[in-house]
Amino acid sequence: MYRFGGLLVILSIFLWSGCKDTVIDKVLLHAGENRGELERVLLHYEGDSLKQLAAMFLIEHMMYKSYYTGEQVKHYDRLLEAYDSLRIHEQVLAGDPPAIKRLWNDLLREHGTLSRYNLQRQWDCQTLKADFLIENIDCAFEAWESTPERWKCSFAQFLEYVLPYRVGQEVPESYRRVYYERYSGIRDTTDTDSLLMVRMNDQFFWKEHYRNSELMWSYPLDLSVSQMETGKRGTCHHLSNYCALVMRAMGLPVAIDHVMRWGNRSKGHAWNVLIHPDGSGYPFDAFARDSLKFAYKPAKILRRMFSVDADRTEQPSTEDVPIELLQPDERDVTHLYGKTYDVEVDCIYPYEGKGKKKHGVICVFDNKEWQPIWWGKIYKEKMRFENMMGDVCYMAAYYEKGRLYPASAPFILTKEGEMRKLNIDPNVKADMKLLRKYPRFERMDMHAMKLRRSRIEGANDAAFRDTVLLFDQFETPHDVNDSLVRRTDLKFRFVRWKIAKYRTGDLAEVEFYGKRTLDGLEEKLNGTVIGAPEPTGETAHPYQYAMDGDPATFFSKPKNQTGYVGLDLGEGNEAYITRVHFHPRSDTNYILIGDTYELCYWDKDRWASAGKQIATRHELTFKEVPQGTFYILKDLTKGKEERIFTYEGGEQVWW
């Protein structure tokens, strides 16, 4: 029995009937030679009012739907085929091994950067055939009608979150019937959201090996169903798209929400939401076992819809707001994730361009610069932004031809919704001790804990049959660590860091220190690097990376294998081991010795320099820095990630 959604659907039927000669006619006109295919879909369902309404919904909102094709895409499909081959033949189930990175560089060199500008844009209304749309509609209804009552959505929810044949700009493909037959048993034998996620995770993460890929952030297109089946790799964006398609084929109403940019770190994120009949939702990362838990601060959260917002009268022009913030198929759902506030910002810096701006943008900081995340109206020298998350630093700005011009100083919107403005006082100065250029997030501890229960061992036998335990790493280490050893009265030729067998390790750097005589001076020990397991051509993180002098690389081994890295000091060069200096895998955003850093502070409407230093320790001290404002520490030698902070109580507070 259908769940209609009450007056909403009745009103929708009335409105869609009224717009048949307007919106749908525009789509049919845009369809050109393909018009007959779309009309055949409408005629096919003349005797079934609900399916005809579904067909009208798809066609009405098809105007802006498109995908990209071309020879360049076919060339880059080699990347997905390589992932598939490595998974089958080399059992590479995660990460981006060297072969993938080499292939990516080869593709760039041979075929150029994959870009929409080099491809052909295909419009759905001009290319999709009646048989494809009819099959999609019939399969969607069959799945919806068979959905257990606990997940049975209303007809209005069905139209948005089950019926659509696409979720992004992927090439549309016929997949529903196969996926329904293959996976609906998971749905039918599960009775809670949490158990459903566990079973989906078991199927797609563990059995079919779908995984995140860092390299795929450079792949600019949405992936079709067949492309995902081949490569089984993608960013959170690719995986959440695919997860939605799979679950919709099962008749489950699933949305895709995303943050364009986090409020306290770079980049953004996309995830899925299982929609409940009452309109609430169960957010989850694609194919994850648990409900979504934000690791970072959201500022503005949007939901991608199939329907296009018909009321565009209040929308600003692309002269005032970047086009990516004006997508007609996205809705603001920030309020569904926590308390939000409407913010009024004084325009203390007037717009100095031609004409008068009607809209402005609100920005967060993203590594190097301010980035717009939403827009608002300008009135009486103020900008108003609705539905913003607190505990985030923002700045209001004017947008003009790809450039931003500050309209306000940066300010903090507190958790309670209060605006905290910082005012620099050039007469108040203080010394600042700095330890990082970017916040240390919890995921760094996740990497570091893989070194727990590692053993530092000394021996005089190459096979370590006479091993002596020098140190046992019980705790989760920090970015930079120095550990004294237990025994300093024995000389050893061989010394090693041995990773616990049940862990991967993720050791970025290790240095061994010792003395040649008991009363001698401590020195850094050198010798021949030894280790296990012996790397192959496709080993992504060989043991040699732990002693290459680069903390950005790291040694990682498969679980349940013996793994270690160390030194053979050589015959006659035995030493008393005194100390182990080591770095776990990290973001390398702590102070790196030898790098040049610049501290900048926000002064009115721009960054001003407080000086430059070459780091000689894992900390920096800048003298007599103006107080009461925002700061950023830049590594001028290398690295990408930087974050603004305030300096409070002698510590960096990140925003």
* C-alpha distances out from residue 606 to 176, 349, 424, 429, 579, Å: 53, 12, 12, 19, 46
- The pTM for the full model equals 0.89
Instruction: Determine the Cα angle at 590 with ends 584 and 591, to 5°.
Output: 125
d(CA 377, CA 360): 6
Q: What is the pLDDT of residue 92?
A: 82
d(CA 376, CA 600): 29
**What percent of the chain stands above pLDDT 90?**
87
77 and 98 inside one domain = yes
Average confidence (pLDDT) over 508-522: 96
In a domain, 640, yes or no: yes
Q: pLDDT tens-digit profile of 106-124? A: 999 999 999 999 999 999 9
d(CA 256, CA 140): 18
In a domain, 168, yes or no: yes
183 and 101 inside one domain = yes
Q: Say yes or no to pLDDT of 2 above 90.
A: no
Q: Say yes or no to pLDDT of 537 above 80.
A: no
Q: What is the pLDDT of residue 353?
A: 84
Q: At what angle do helices 176-188 and 130-145 cross, to 10 degrees?
A: 10
608 and 577 inside one domain = no
Q: What is the 3-state secondary structure (H, E, C) of 352-420?
A: CCCCCCCEEEEEEEECCEEEEEEEEEEECCEEEEEEEECCEEEEEEEEECCEEEECCCCEEECCCCCEE
Q: Which of 584, 603, 638 is the last residue of a domain?
A: 584
What DSSP state is assigned to residue 118? G
Q: Say yes or no to pLDDT of 313 above 80.
A: no
Q: pLDDT tens-digit profile of 169-204? A: 999 999 999 999 999 999 999 999 999 999 999 999
Tokens of 316: 């600003």
Q: Which of 584, 607, 628 is the last residue of a domain?
A: 584
Q: What is the pLDDT of residue 3?
A: 47
In a domain, 59, yes or no: yes
CB 44 within 8 A of CB 134: yes
578 and 596 inside one domain = no
Handedness of CA 486, 491, 496, 499 (dihedral sign): negative
**Closest Cα partner for 398 from 368, 363, 369?**
363
Tokens of 118: 């080099």
d(CA 611, CA 219): 38
Q: Which residues are bridge partners to 397 per DSSP?
A: 361, 406
Q: pLDDT tens-digit profile of 72-81? A: 999 999 999 9
In a domain, 256, yes or no: no
Residue 1 has a CB neighbour count (10 Å cut-off) of 6
In a domain, 288, yes or no: no
485 and 435 inside one domain = no
Q: pLDDT tens-digit profile of 229-287? A: 999 999 999 999 999 999 999 999 999 999 999 999 989 999 999 999 999 999 999 99
In a domain, 315, yes or no: no
Helix (H) or strand (E) holding 230: helix 225-231
d(CA 38, CA 417): 49
Q: Which of 584, 610, 626 is the last residue of a domain?
A: 584
Q: What is the pLDDT of residue 310?
A: 66
Q: Say yes or no to pLDDT of 452 above 70.
A: yes
Mean pLDDT of all residues belonging to the chain = 93
Q: What is the pLDDT of residue 496?
A: 98
Q: Say yes or no to pLDDT of 5 above 80.
A: no
CB 322 within 8 A of CB 361: yes
d(CA 404, CA 390): 23
pLDDT band at 15; cut points 50, 70, 90: very low
CB 639 within 8 A of CB 632: no
113 and 207 inside one domain = yes
Q: Say yes or no to pLDDT of 11 above 50.
A: no
**What percent of the chain stands above pLDDT 70?**
96
Tokens of 391: 């505990």
Burial class of residue 447, CB neighbours in 10 A (0-12, 13-18, 19+): buried
Q: How many residues does the chain have?
A: 655
Which domain range does residue 402 map to? 323-421
CB 591 within 8 A of CB 435: yes
d(CA 99, CA 86): 9
394 and 432 inside one domain = no
CATH code at 650? Answer: 2.60.40
344 and 393 inside one domain = yes
Q: What is the pLDDT of residue 311?
A: 65
In a domain, 270, yes or no: no
d(CA 21, CA 561): 68
DSSP-based three-state secondary structure for 552: coil
CB 494 within 8 A of CB 582: no
Question: What are the b/e assignments for 613-634, b being 16+ CB within 10 Å?
Answer: eebeeeebebeebbbebbbbbb
476 and 572 inside one domain = yes
**Closest Cα partner for 92 from 562, 538, 535?**
538
pLDDT band at 57; cut points 50, 70, 90: very high
Q: pLDDT tens-digit profile of 600-618? A: 999 988 999 999 999 999 9
Torsion, Cα 524 527 532 533, to 10 degrees, reads 110
pLDDT band at 425; cut points 50, 70, 90: confident
pLDDT band at 312; cut points 50, 70, 90: low
468 and 546 inside one domain = yes
How many DSSP H helices and E strands does the chain contain?
14, 34
Question: What are the b/e assignments for 182-219, b being 16+ CB within 10 Å?
Answer: ebbebbeebeebeebbebbbebbbeeeebbbbebbeeb
In a domain, 2, yes or no: no
- What is the total count of domains within the chain? 4
DSSP-based three-state secondary structure for 50: helix
Q: Say yes or no to pLDDT of 368 above 90.
A: no
According to DSSP, the β-strands at 211-212 and 233-234 are: parallel
483 and 541 inside one domain = yes
Give backbone dihedrals phi and psi of 234, rounded to 5 degrees, phi first.
Answer: 175, 175
According to DSSP, the β-strands at 631-635 and 596-603 are: antiparallel
- The lowest-confidence range among 89-103, 370-384, 405-419 is 89-103
466 and 478 inside one domain = yes
Q: Say yes or no to pLDDT of 582 above 60.
A: yes
